[in-house]
Structure 1
Amino acid sequence: MTSQTPEISPPPPEPEKLPWHLTLLGRLRAYFFAGILVTAPVSITFYLAWKFILFMDDQVSPLIPPAFNPKNWGIPGFGLVAVVVSLTLVGALTAGFFGRVLVRLYDTVLERMPVLRGIYSAVKQIFETMLAQKANAFREVALIEYPRKGIWTLAFITGTPKGQLRSCFDDEMVNVFVPTTPNPTSGFLLFLPKRDVRILDMSVEDGIKMVVSTGIITPSEKPQVSPNARS
């Protein structure tokens, strides 16, 4: 019997090491983009807030006499404070009896104007829907098949059809707003059967972030808690 010696495979080739200056450049580039990712959101947020404060100051300052104008004293932000205080006072005044009568009066006048009544009624309904505490608009995020079967898009549930629209459908329907990307202020209003809408366990804020970021920012899945852990 002849003993066969096992074949020894050659050692794998060592990975080619990059020159030290290329590795250093790669790290510096990664640090640079990391610095942009950290500082850009904060800088842009404070820049826009500062521009908004200066804009409010420029709008309010002409209405104040120069001797009492805080802008001449080098105090920024007075315009924003003045607007907030003024809106609060207006809201407090309209909450009384005479305020409600006055609001009802100019509502009647504006709703009878041919051109302004359409704009006024639309803007009023939008603000009442967004600011009302009991409103259910934009409280749920859903998936729907749009613009055709097999293609899914993110949408927001805004309510259910009422009045004449309700009598036009046999199934239980929902109002769905499909926003455009990356500008969620425009989009399409659709009326879909409730069975064709998949409600997501996602907040409206996360849904808007996903739309604005064109899908780059995706909310992570919430961990499921076992029954034993709940008990």
Structure 2
Amino acid sequence: LPEAWQPDRLIGMHIPGFGLVLTLAVLLTVGAIASNFIGKKLVNWGDRIVARIPVVRGIYSSVKQVSDTLFSESGNAFRTAVLVQWPRADVWTIGFVTGTPGGDVTTYLRGEEFLSVYVPTTPNPTGGYFVMLRKSDCIELKMSVDEALKYVVSMGVVVPAAAPSNR
């Protein structure tokens, strides 16, 4: 901060932790504004501005569509949790079924049923890999999507309770 904006200069005394408290207050205020009617109008206004920038428009709209789907209130982006061999045979990880392949891709994936699977990275599940796998190569897990996501984010530390066995 410029010297004139230093908290010590503004209030005339040094208060330890004042910068942290001020930062939290600013973040809370911005969050409160963004979550109400005025904030939504400001976000929509920003969306319209970004939509006018030629190169950024395509990237922004794609990222916005994905984030709106992933973080929607309905929470139906991931249908089921599956166990898949990734990134090679005999190495297992949890993936999330997002649907079935569509469009032009289906003309090349013939013979068997395929699933669209998102394989998240750990501990940040917002990065990951989108793969199309044979349904026969995916083992559907009995745990909920939420439990599987917690398992992935915790790097295996938070283990979901085992599903009751049918034996």
In structure 2, the partner of 1:55 is 27
In structure 2, the partner of 1:164 is 104
Give the CA deviation at 1:217: 1.3
Give the partner amino acid of 2:150. Answer: K
In structure 1, the partner of 2:89 is 149
Residues 32-68 of structure 1 deviation map (CA, whole Å, 9 limit, x = unaligned): xxxxxxxxxxxxxxxxxxx7664132x4xxxxxxxxx
Task: Flag the structure with more relative contact order, 1 or 2, with Cα contacts below 8 A and sequence separation at least 6.
Answer: 2
Percent of aligned positions with the same letter in both sequences? 39
In structure 2, the partner of 1:138 is 78
Paired residues in the alignment total 139
In structure 1, the partner of 2:67 is 127
Name the structure where helix makes up a greater proportion of residues. Answer: 1
Contact kept in structure 2, 1:136 and 1:159, CA below 8 Å:
no
Contact kept in structure 2, 1:140 and 1:157, CA below 8 Å:
yes
* 1:85 and 2:36 are equivalent in the alignment: yes
Contact kept in structure 1, 2:81 and 2:95, CA below 8 Å:
yes
Residues 56-102 of structure 1 deviation map (CA, whole Å, 9 limit, x = unaligned): 32x4xxxxxxxxxxxxxxxxxxx61x433216875xxx9xxxxxxx9
Residues 85-132 of structure 1 deviation map (CA, whole Å, 9 limit, x = unaligned): 216875xxx9xxxxxxx9xxx59x92x743112222212321342327
For 1:175 and 1:53, the matched residues in 2 are separated by 42
Over the aligned positions, Cα root-mean-square deviation in angstroms equals: 3.1
- Residue 206 (structure 1) aligned to one of 129, 133, 147: 147
Q: Which runs of 5+ in 1 are unaligned?
A: 1-50, 60-78, 95-101, 227-231
Residues 213/207 of structure 1: CA separation in 2 closer, same or farther (3 Å cut): same
> SS in structure 2 opposite 1:195?
helix
Residues 207/53 of structure 1: CA separation in 2 closer, same or farther (3 Å cut): farther
**Is the radius of gyration larger for structure 1 or structure 2?**
1
Contact kept in structure 1, 2:34 and 2:40, CA below 8 Å:
no
> SS in structure 1 opposite 2:103?
coil
In structure 1, the partner of 2:12 is none
